[in-house]
Chain A
Amino acid sequence: MSGPKETPQGASRYGMVIDLDRCNGCGACMVACAVENNVAPAPQRANDRNGITLLRVFPMRNGRDYPESRQVFVPMTCQQCDAPPCESVCPQHAVEFDWTTGIVAQIPVRCLGCRYCMVACPYHARAFNWWDPEWPEGMESTLNPDISTRSRGVAEKCNFCHHRRQVARERAAHEGREVREDEYQPACVEACPVGAIVFGDLNDPDSAVAKVYEAPDAFAFLDKLGTKPKIRYRSRQEWVHAMARQGVPEKEVTRG
């Protein structure tokens, strides 16, 4: 297993903090993620278990009945673990921990489709292409050229819109400067209408994300497993923290 100890000096370590008290479950992040990453519209058979939704928003409820019931919406995606269980089980090295960014990269062309990674991921954050991607006629022209389309038979997941980092780096290199924090933001961060998602380099103490990453109300899901996720959540509600220690909200299902 790789981890931060092997991170080269001067490298970035990208992370994210999602404020659950701000998220209102509008779903704009899900749509933006799918559009950005060339995810195809769903076949008729697709459902919550077998569809490709790299970022999925779950309702998480406090377990009480109306009118004491309360809920928060949890955007759940790859947690970008520092100790990613999906990496060690991949027989094809299709999952790679990028030491220079801390991003757990998924390389579709290497993927054999065994789905061991999906079994290993405790966050159910991975999806499997059960069908070849199909777009309504003409809609292929709206595909993002920075991302290749994936075929049937490979697993995939969020990679913090890594291609956006490449674009930002190229632009910055062309202009002879460092990448600014606001230049590299994943699509979900950009789309969130209420600014509930903060993203940036955790190794940069001046970054917005570093300032809230260790906030008193910040927590990680399933912290006890030791996967060391780089996505943390915030909430001032104690029941949310208690639920987060138990597991992934609402739907204890394994996709695929």
Chain B
Amino acid sequence: MSVPPVAGARETPVANPLFEYLLRLGDDRLVLGHRMSEWCGHGPILEEDIAMANIALDLVGQGSSLLQLAGVTEGAGRDEDALAYFRGEPEFRNAQLVELPKGDFAFTMVRQFLFDAYSVLQLDALQKSTFAPLAGLASKALKEDSYHLRHSSDWVLRLGDGTAESHARAQAALDELWRFTGELFESDAVDEAVRDNGIVVDQAAIQSRWQQVVADVTRRATLTLPPAGASASGGRRGRHTEFLGHMLAEMQIVARSHPGAKW
């Protein structure tokens, strides 16, 4: 199914843009955190297994705080657990990039690098927001994601400029992931509307700095950036790849089978 380009597309007004915006921020981190957590116990070496579990924990923690704030903003009595476990796939607002299966180690690390660089730039802009609860969460998450970026960019270098095998896998990952990166920088009516809430993020400026960083690291890693082309889109409006539903089934099964369970 082809998705019309966002720029210039007529869109129906969003009922609660701030809620939508916070869902996008929270879902990106919750979904990527869950994908990262799938490595727990399966890492290539013990240190890396621990590192990936730590990164997953940070991301799920950030997602939890952002969804909690989203729930408060919505004002319908949903908390972070209700939003994480009792929304269906079309209600998730994450970019498609983060929902793709974890793939091999190179795929996971290249994706993490592409997201980390984006996230650091986005959070840096958000921490200057005049919407204080979000600015606080952003300043906290920024420190964590800066640490993640150092780790993931190190791995892109080691894999790209490593053996023939690791280079081939890193290049294949970059080739496959590239068309999913455009969605991160889309701007629509929601971004426009939250300006009234003091959230001003210049997506075009972020994209241009992101491209510089990605070009620099991939060049040093002897990887070749794929040519610009058609970009995947739709996640921000609830249109996802076939992979998200499967992931959610696994992520949500316990909460849905035993609603309200305590231990």
- Do these two chains interact? no
Q: Which residues of B contact A (CB under 8 A)?
A: none
